[in-house]
Amino acid sequence: MARPATRTPPTPAARDAAGSEWWRTAVIYQIYPRSFADSNGDGIGDLPGITARLDALVELGVDAVWLSPFFTSPQKDAGYDVADYTDVDPLFGTLADFDALLARAHALSLKVIIDLVPNHSSSAHPWFQAALASAPGSPERARYLFRDGLGADGDVPPNNWQSVFGGPAWTRVNEADGTQAPRKAQWYLHLFDTSQPDFDWTNDEVKELFRGVLRFWLDRGVDGFRVDVAHGLAKKEGLPDWTPDPSLGMSDHQEAAPYWAQPGVHPIYRDWHEVLAEYGPDRILTGEAWVEPLSKLADWVRPDEMQQTFNFTFLETPWDGPRLKKVVDDSLAAFGGVGAPSTWVLSNHDVIRHATRLALTPPPPQGEGLGPNTKLYPDDVVGLRRARAATAFMLALPGSAYLYQGEELGLPEVIDLPDSARQDPTFFRTSGANYGRDGARVPLPWDVASPSFGFGPAGVSGPGASRDDASWLPQPATWPSYARDAQLGIPGSTLEFYREALAARRTHHLASNELVWLPSPDPAVLVFRSGAVTVIANTGATPAALPDGRVVLASGPVGTDRVPGDTTAWIVT
Ligand code: NOJ
Ligand code: CA
């Protein structure tokens, strides 16, 4: 049943109490600022836009938000290229706007986590500019990874590493000192775009810079940090050559790489843990670490390191009973083994939205994205049905869950973006071979009636202007049916399904109960018990028997005694 639009989910007082360890059970909603809500009509979302829409997230029933970067940045990688870690980019507003956002969120009992991007800065960062203006071997260069090239002229990169976004991971500089012989011109490492030089994390000034960044935002009152590329900060001594396995995709699951998951990352997180602890027990670090297996990833959340780390193994698990059961068991064992909560996630700004991805078997590897030439035609109806079933399964699991803006509306990946609109550096660095991630980043539709579906106030004006001018990536003409106001209060809508799920998760303590698997005659059908709730997830096509009791949540229509395929139900007995 849909609930009235005005209903506000209960806020347990315990969540706000110091020492509550709120993050062990929290549902954390990812806001991608440039695509959430635009307050000033320039087509790009901003901080005042977010503040004005926070009530909608309370209505949804989440506990916290994570904001992707809004810091000073040339926006070469949508803000993951930071030029000033302690200021707000004018595109998104001002520090005062951030303070207002934080105050409003806290008044609504929403925690706020912000993004920390420590692996690399923007090439526009004053430190990198100073490095370019300084000589090889200088202290300014020592904050980054500058090296001499190989070969007689030094024109061969220092090693064979490839950028996650495609192309070489090294760029040669033009030395400022024109008197230098060309062979002296150095190269710098960038695991991502040329505009994102990697820091040298053995350098004490780098360590001190980031302690200061943490304190700057903790002093303002943030509840924690999502740590970008948390598997990449330390590089193997000597930067040895390494050739990735091409079948594994570009960015992830290359565990043997000399730049991923090196032991040197752990002292950094222990250091940060102590900085956060100065602010009490409830500030958190969440790692974006693409590390497998889960037993190794658990090292990131040992008691003196981070509080949480994303579970990408879960995200990448197909909609398949035995494989889902295994990843849940592996996660609970690995994270539980170090006293950390398991986390769960199905979508974010870097992956194909799960309402599309789950209709593809298999989906393209992470980072490749989808576009007109991919020649894959995911069925939106199948995708959304599986996505809702997968979400109902995820939100019943013990631990903390992450949602990505727009999934509560059932948004699919936008596949047919014109090449001219695409902005992901992946697209350009692979000459269009990989579409990248823009299809998951299209601005949200809030209201059916307005030009940008309520994303911003921009109207269609001037000769030649079109609806596309109202948002930085064009919203598909088919999106009115996904708009928030078209779903609010409508029984069976995806938005109402999410609201019911989040409310029932809270009522029945699903995040803190113990999970107990129940026997199932069909491996495609998973059944488990969590407190008073029996959860049944039918990943197959054959209907399964509905357990006895009262259905408190169903991801799609269920019969009186049957759970159809691609459907999850929660039953209270
Ligand atoms: C992971 C971020 O989520 C992604 O968007 C970004 O491009 C890379 N890290 C580089 O910062
Ligand atoms: Ca704006």
Report pLDDT for 275.
98
pLDDT tier at 256 (50, 70, 90 boundaries)?
Answer: confident
Average pLDDT over residues 70-93: 98
Average pLDDT over residues 233-253: 79
Contact 163, 192 (CB under 8 A): yes
Q: Is 350 in the pocket of ligand 1 (CB under 6 A)?
A: yes
* Span of 361-365, 420-424, 457-461 with lowest mean pLDDT: 457-461
* Choice from 228, 288, 290, 437 to test ligand 1 binding pocket (greatest atom count within 8 A of CB): 228
The pTM score is 0.95
Ligand nearest to the CA of 227: 1
E strand map for 62-177: 64-67, 71-72, 84-88, 111-116, 146-147, 170-172
Q: Is 289 in the pocket of ligand 1 (CB under 6 A)?
A: no
202-211 long-range contacts, CB within 8 A, separation 24+? 202/264, 203/142, 203/143, 205/139, 205/143, 206/143, 207/268, 207/271, 209/85, 209/127, 210/85, 210/116, 210/118, 210/272, 211/271, 211/272, 211/275
Report pLDDT for 470.
86
User: Average pLDDT, whole number, for the chain?
Assistant: 93
- Burial (CB < 10 A; 0-12, 13-18, 19+), residue 432, is middle
Q: How far apart are CA 464 and CA 275, in angstroms?
A: 53
Residue 113 has pLDDT above 90, yes or no: yes
Residue nearest to atom 3 of ligand 1 (CA): 350
pLDDT tier at 248 (50, 70, 90 boundaries)?
Answer: low
Residue 251 has pLDDT above 90, yes or no: no
Strands 170-172 and 71-72, by their bridges, are unpaired
Average pLDDT over residues 68-73: 98
Q: Which residues pair with 534 in a beta bridge?
A: 529, 571
Q: Is 229 in the pocket of ligand 1 (CB under 6 A)?
A: yes
List, for residues 483-521, the tens digit of each pLDDT value: 999 999 999 999 999 999 999 999 999 999 999 999 999
List, for residues 324-339, the tens digit of each pLDDT value: 999 999 999 999 999 9
Half-sphere exposure of 298 (CA within 13 A, CB side): 17
User: DSSP state, 468?
Assistant: G
Residue 162 Cα, ligand 2 centroid: separation in angstroms? 35
pLDDT tier at 13 (50, 70, 90 boundaries)?
Answer: very low
Strand order in the sheet with 525-530: 515-517, 525-530, 533-538, 567-572, 550-554
- Tokens read off for 418: 């014109």
Query: Omega before 491 cis (within 30°)?
Result: no
Report pLDDT for 300.
98
List, for residues 148-193, the tens digit of each pLDDT value: 999 998 999 999 999 999 999 999 998 766 655 556 899 999 999 9
Residue 38 Cα, ligand 2 centroid: separation in angstroms? 4
Residue 18 has pLDDT above 80, yes or no: no
Average pLDDT over residues 424-450: 96
Residue nearest to atom 5 of ligand 1 (CA): 350
Atom number of ligand 1 nearest to Cα 68: 3
E strand map for 89-178: 111-116, 146-147, 170-172
Ligand nearest to the CA of 46: 2
Q: Active-site residues: which are they?
A: 228, 278
Residue 20 Cα, ligand 2 centroid: separation in angstroms? 36
E strand map for 15-142: 27-31, 64-67, 71-72, 84-88, 111-116
Residue 526 Cα, ligand 1 centroid: separation in angstroms? 34
Q: How far apart are CA 256 and CA 63, in angstroms?
A: 36
pLDDT tier at 249 (50, 70, 90 boundaries)?
Answer: low
Q: Is 230 in the pocket of ligand 1 (CB under 6 A)?
A: no
Atom number of ligand 1 nearest to Cα 191: 10
In one-letter notation, the amino acid at residue 406 is G
Report pLDDT for 461.
45
Report pLDDT for 184.
80
Nearest to 346 by CA among 389, 293, 292, 302: 389
Q: Is 250 in the pocket of ligand 1 (CB under 6 A)?
A: no
pLDDT tier at 254 (50, 70, 90 boundaries)?
Answer: low
Q: Can you list the domains of the chain with their CATH numbers? A: 12-119+204-487 (3.20.20.80), 122-198 (3.90.400.10), 515-572 (2.60.40)
Atom number of ligand 1 nearest to Cα 80: 11
Give the chain's count of helices (H) and strands (E): 13, 20
Q: How far apart are CA 22 and CA 145, in angstroms?
A: 38
Q: Is 80 in the pocket of ligand 1 (CB under 6 A)?
A: yes
Residue 417 Cα, ligand 1 centroid: separation in angstroms? 21
Q: How far is CA 515 from the centre of its chain?
A: 26
- Tokens read off for 322: 């035995």
Residue nearest to atom 10 of ligand 1 (CA): 80
Q: Is 228 in the pocket of ligand 1 (CB under 6 A)?
A: yes
In one-letter notation, the amino acid at residue 42 is D
Q: b or e along 330-358 (b: 16 or more beta carbons within 10 Å of the residue's beta carbon)? A: bbbebbeeeebbbbbbbbbbbbbbbbbbb
Report pLDDT for 450.
85
Contact 88, 70 (CB under 8 A): yes
* Choice from 77, 227, 348, 423 to test ligand 1 binding pocket (greatest atom count within 8 A of CB): 77
Average pLDDT over residues 413-434: 96
In one-letter notation, the amino acid at residue 259 is Y
Ligand nearest to the CA of 117: 1
Q: How far apart are CA 498 and CA 482, in angstroms?
A: 14
Ligand nearest to the CA of 121: 1
Report pLDDT for 105.
98
Residue 109 has pLDDT above 90, yes or no: yes
Q: How far apart are CA 483 and CA 163, in angstroms?
A: 37
By residue count, the chain amounts to: 573
Report pLDDT for 111.
98
pLDDT tier at 243 (50, 70, 90 boundaries)?
Answer: confident
Contact 335, 365 (CB under 8 A): no
